[in-house]
Structure 1
Amino acid sequence: MNINILKFLRRPKFLGDSDIKPLHHVLFWSIYFLINTFRWSSIHNDFLLSLRTNLIGFPIHMFLAYLNAYYLMPKFIYTKKYFQYTIYILLALFGMLLLKFNLTYYLVSTDVMPEGPEEINSLTIGYAVQTMIGEVYVISFFTAIKLTIDWLRESSKLHDLEKRQLKTELRFLRSQVSPHFFFNTLNNIYSLTLEKSDQAPEVILKLSELMRYLLYATKKQRQDLTSEINCIRNYIDLERIRFDDSLRIDMNISGDLDNCKIAPMLLIPLVENCFKHGASKNIGEMKIVIEVLVTNGFMNFRVSNTIPNANKEFKYPVNSGGIGLSNVKKRLELGYAKNDYELSIYEENKMFNVILNLKVV
């Protein structure tokens, strides 16, 4: 999905709240009435005749349009009772025909169709067909507008629902740093306090900073890249306590990180993966390499760890990469355009490698 997906899912500005208010109905019929009146007055060259004809015809237009759009269609079309709908609409049109003929004949002119080539002063089949076709046109025009607005309203509601679901999913994914990490860190702090170690206050401070970042940064759509890197540093410092000198961690950062933005907590699962599937399962010398390079608005983030060799049957999950990598893949799909990132996962020289090229401007 595009990086601007949340903007895309917002309600279109021209749509407003999609509610058809009484004023909208008044404006629609007023404009339609004036256009029709002036149109027919130019044809007949008689404004008063056109005005009187439309004053009789428009209440009938309105009644049939509302009857169809607000009663007949919801009751029969939406429930797939097409035969009943056909019968009722034909009865309504026939009733309209009789009413319009008599009102026009007695209140306006005995020539009930002055626009025709000859005078019509009786209820003929030709008059009936033309009049009913005219009413069908008005009904269809009004119904099409209503259906369009209804579709826009439902589409807008769906967009709002998708936006809320997307925000919820992204917030959930951003918060999925392993709780085992916090339990292990608290146990380490407990051990340090029992030993009255000078490290205890520093460890508590780093844990506090990390938790503060997790609580507040995840509310933002984008975070400063420097803040994300500092979070990784705190995470690594806390994890170092669990391992002795057998664990070697190299972290190299280069390039201009200023004004660079990134989805918060996007990189932490990649680093956490190294400790969960690499260091914690290894015996002997262990190595984790983290490299960050920012050039031309893109960040190249590479994280590598020694493949566990304690159990020869153990196979590192290259395809899935565990929950951490699945989390990152999902967040990239939801929050970035396809051309804005590239994620590579592979094994090489007994090292498991994850490389993420990401647009950060």
Structure 2
Amino acid sequence: MFQKIKDIININDSNNFNITFKHHVIFWLVYFLFTTFRWGSYFNDYEYAFKTTILGFSIHMTLCYFNVYYLMPKFIYTRRYFIYGIALVAALFFMVILKFNLTYFLVSSNVWPEGPGTTSTLTLNYVIEMMLGELYVVTFVTAIKVTFDWIREHKRLLDMEKRQLETELRLLRTQISPHFFFNTLNNIYALTIEKSDKAPKIILKLSELMRYLLYETKQRRQSLTKEIMCLQSYLDLERIRYGDQLKININISGEIGGKEIAPMLLLSFIENSFKHGANKNVGEVNINIDFNVIEDFLHFRISNPIPTEKNNNIVKTTTGGIGIGNVKKRLELGYNEGEYYLDINNDGKEYVVNLKIKV
């Protein structure tokens, strides 16, 4: 029977913060010693207290494990509360009868020495007092079990939310690469049609970017230095493509070493500035990019002119698409409130993105 109890405990608590059979033994041992010395000092008879505690101890254990591992899963977890109440009262009453007989025949004919008088028969007062005493122990142990079950369930839900968050972030990150590669390959295709000498250089630069995006962006956070280097490679690629008509002004200030940021987060803003700026402009295009690290925050700013056609009608620009929408979602999922601030402004002449983010 003792081995069966051990197996039940190990099965039910295998994932409960590594609570093992040893912890149960320690708990009951402490309880046994406390009860023995308590009643021993009360009666000034430690031998009697030891004997009665052994009897009560076995009853307490049986009731507690019967309740938490059978009655509660069978009735409480299935919301059959009335039946649970009846079953618990019946179990308490049965154990009191058992305790009375064991005490009477094995320890003393006075089964309730702490009572109002000598008790050698089963009385209503004795039954009520003993049932309340047993209920106290059962309630105490049940409270411990319920508390640890709640902690375990809470931890399980947090772990599940974390896994879901990481999965969604990975999915959002994987959307960036195909989107970026698709646009770049379209550009290479256009240059090959024109038989441009720039195509081989772009392909070489693209291979460097692919190596970084495929192998070095799997972590939740990436070195800010590496991320800026990746962005510079992308800008080099665009410089090859556009030539002298593209003017990119980059300013980096503050200490960027030792700082980290979500990988490929800023790439969407830069790609967006080309998609809605340089791609649609005729003539020289100026794109201004600022990286300014102040304490634990990166202040990132990028601006590009709103393109106009020859008839001076403003070309419609969008702030949506997979790029910006993806970034907003990743910021919501990957950073806490107060760790970032994003402002996108379009005044009809210039498209400006300001991002303040914890690094």
Same fold by TM-score greater than 0.5: yes
Contact 2:198 2:240 in 1 (8 A): no
Cα distance in 1 for partners of 2:82, 2:15 equals 37
Counting aligned pairs with the same residue, the percent is 58
Shift of 1:268: 0.5
Cα distance in 2 for partners of 1:128, 1:116 equals 12
| 1:48-63 alignment, distance < 5 Å | 48-63=47-62
Contact 1:175 1:214 in 2 (8 A): no
Cα distance in 1 for partners of 2:191, 2:281 equals 24
1:355 aligned partner, one-letter code: N
Tell me: CA distance 1:197–1:346, structure 2 relative to 1, closer, same or farther (3 Å).
closer
User: Which residue of structure 2 aligns with residue 276 of structure 1?
Assistant: 275
Shift of 1:84: 1.3
Contact 2:177 2:213 in 1 (8 A): no
User: Which residue of structure 2 aligns with residue 355 of structure 1?
Assistant: 354
For the residue of structure 2 that corresponds to 1:177, the secondary structure is: helix
Contact 2:268 2:323 in 1 (8 A): yes
User: Which residue of structure 1 aligns with residue 34 of structure 2?
Assistant: 35
| 1:188-337 alignment, distance < 5 Å | 188-189=187-188, 199-243=198-242, 246-282=245-281, 286-310=285-309, 315-317=316-318, 321-337=320-336
Tell me: CA distance 1:300–1:125, structure 2 relative to 1, closer, same or farther (3 Å).
same
Contact 1:175 1:218 in 2 (8 A): no
The one-character-per-residue Cα deviations of 1:175-230 (angstroms, maximum 9, x if unpaired) are 33253542343355467678886544432332122112112232223322221111
**RMSD, aligned α-carbons:** 2.7
Tell me: CA distance 1:184–1:131, structure 2 relative to 1, closer, same or farther (3 Å).
closer
Structure 2, unaligned runs of 5 or more: 1-13
User: Which residue of structure 2 aligns with residue 82 of structure 1?
Assistant: 81
Shift of 1:315: 4.7
Shift of 1:63: 1.4
Tell me the TM-score normalised to structure 1 length. Answer: 0.85
Choose 140-149 or 42-51, whichever is displaced more: 140-149
1:300 aligned partner, one-letter code: H
Structure 1, unaligned runs of 5 or more: 1-14
Shift of 1:24: 2.5
Shift of 1:147: 1.2
For the residue of structure 2 that corresponds to 1:122, the secondary structure is: coil
User: Which residue of structure 2 aligns with residue 130 of structure 1?
Assistant: 129
1:132 aligned partner, one-letter code: M
Cα distance in 2 for partners of 1:118, 1:17 equals 46
Equivalent residues, number = 344
Shift of 1:43: 0.7
| 1:67-216 alignment, distance < 5 Å | 67-177=66-176, 179-186=178-185, 188-189=187-188, 199-216=198-215
2:134 aligned partner, one-letter code: E
2:211 aligned partner, one-letter code: R
Choose 76-85 or 331-340, whichever is displaced more: 331-340
Choose 192-201 or 135-144, whichever is displaced more: 192-201
Tell me: CA distance 1:134–1:217, structure 2 relative to 1, closer, same or farther (3 Å).
same
For the residue of structure 2 that corresponds to 1:121, the secondary structure is: coil
Cα distance in 1 for partners of 2:149, 2:16 equals 11
1:53 aligned partner, one-letter code: T
Contact 2:306 2:314 in 1 (8 A): no
Cα distance in 2 for partners of 1:296, 1:84 equals 62
Shift of 1:258: 2.6
